[in-house]
Amino acid sequence: MVSRKSERLVNLTIALLATGRWITKSEIYENIEGYSGEPDAKERMFERDKEELRNLGIDIEVGTFDPLFEDEVGYRIRPENYRIQISELTPQQLALISSATQSWRGAILGSKASAGLAKLKALGIESDVDGIPINPHQLRNSDSNLAKVIDALALRKTISFDYRAADNTNENRALEPYGVGTKNGFWYVAGNDLERRAVRLFRLDRVVSEVKEQGRGASYEIPESFSMHNQLQSQTRKYAAQLLVRKGKAHQLRKHADLKESEHEWDQLEYHYSDVKELVRELLWHRDDVQVMGPLEVRESLLESLHLIQVHHD
């Protein structure tokens, strides 16, 4: 059975690709093996096959080939739409792609990566592997939700999933995915959150259910201005705080700070930050090795946190 369906899909592709004209359903049923049974059954089979080929990215056009018979539509695949548009890659470039696909070996996108590489190799370009002495890192992500998100993104289908919220409860979210990315070892999907009506970023390891596709493909447009890269950028450190940091301590803090003055056992730093809450967290982590002089808001927030800790542990 498995094989017969695959054969039917291949034969349908050949028929639609080889013809220089529109071909009708009746011609398809007549010439392609596998379309059998009642007219309704054939119809359903064809509709499904057509949808599945489209999901593979094969563009099947529908049109009328004879103005006198408007009710009878024809189908075809234009070779120029089917064919890969890449013609020039150097052997070194192909070798780089080959190394890139190696990263996925055994991981969730492994078969996609090697299928892509096989297509490029089918162009007949030789690969110069010796030119690149690289041992690529391995991407051993086996989260099947990553593949599902990418599939949905490819077809522009809405997805839904349960997400672990900040209060550790699970919330169901519906999302039009716009992009996927990875940063610091975590994988993310960004998209239009249908309930909140805004672009939101989700960490895939916080998705606690299977990602499910909803509805039809091409159901939304990705805004021209969207950039996954920008989504993953941390907020800019646009504020400055004045800190006293004990000499030789709190090296992590010093990376985002300018040294202003140095006296006795303390360094005076100007520290750049984006969020008060996160800054207070960083400062508290460094205990009494750090004092914040300003802004007042940070100082107050820090003292409030300390007060709360003392109350809890009194």
List Cβ neighbours of 87 (8 Å cut-off, separation of 6 or more). Answer: 123
Q: Which residues in the 78-107 window bind another protein by CB under 8 A?
A: 79, 81-86, 88-90, 92-93, 96-97, 99-105, 107
Residue of the chain from 122, 198, 218, 296 that contacts another protein (CB under 8 A): 122
- Rounded CA-CA distance 188/228 in Å is 9
Binding of another protein at residue 5 (CB under 8 A)? yes
Please identify, among the stretches 39-47, 63-71, 213-221, 226-234, the one whose residues bind another protein according to the rule CB under 8 A: 226-234
- Rounded CA-CA distance 17/20 in Å is 8
Binding of another protein at residue 284 (CB under 8 A)? yes
State the nearest-atom distance from the C-beta of 245 to another protein, in Å: 12
Please identify, among the stretches 35-43, 60-68, 160-168, 213-221, the one whose residues bind another protein according to the rule CB under 8 A: 160-168
Q: Which residues in the 163-222 window bind another protein by CB under 8 A?
A: 164-168, 178-185, 205-206, 222
Place of tokens 């003055």: 261
- Rounded CA-CA distance 112/89 in Å is 20
Rg of the chain over Cα atoms, rounded to whole angstroms, equals: 29
CA atoms within 13 A of residue 85's CA, in its CB half-sphere:
2
Binding of another protein at residue 255 (CB under 8 A)? yes
Residue of the chain from 22, 60, 76, 141 that contacts another protein (CB under 8 A): 141
Binding of another protein at residue 240 (CB under 8 A)? no
Residue of the chain from 23, 25, 45, 136 that contacts another protein (CB under 8 A): 136
- Rounded CA-CA distance 212/210 in Å is 6
* 111 token code pair: 């078969």
Backbone angles phi, psi at 272, to 5 degrees: -100, 130
Q: Which is nearer to another protein, 64 or 142 (CB)?
A: 142
Please identify, among the stretches 37-45, 62-70, 135-143, 209-217, the one whose residues bind another protein according to the rule CB under 8 A: 135-143
Residue 207: DSSP 8-state: B
State the nearest-atom distance from the C-beta of 238 to another protein, in Å: 15
Binding of another protein at residue 57 (CB under 8 A)? yes
Contact, 214 vs 174, CB < 8 A?
A: yes
Return the ∠ at Cα 225 (arms to 224 and 228), rounded to 5°.
105
State the nearest-atom distance from the C-beta of 129 to another protein, in Å: 13
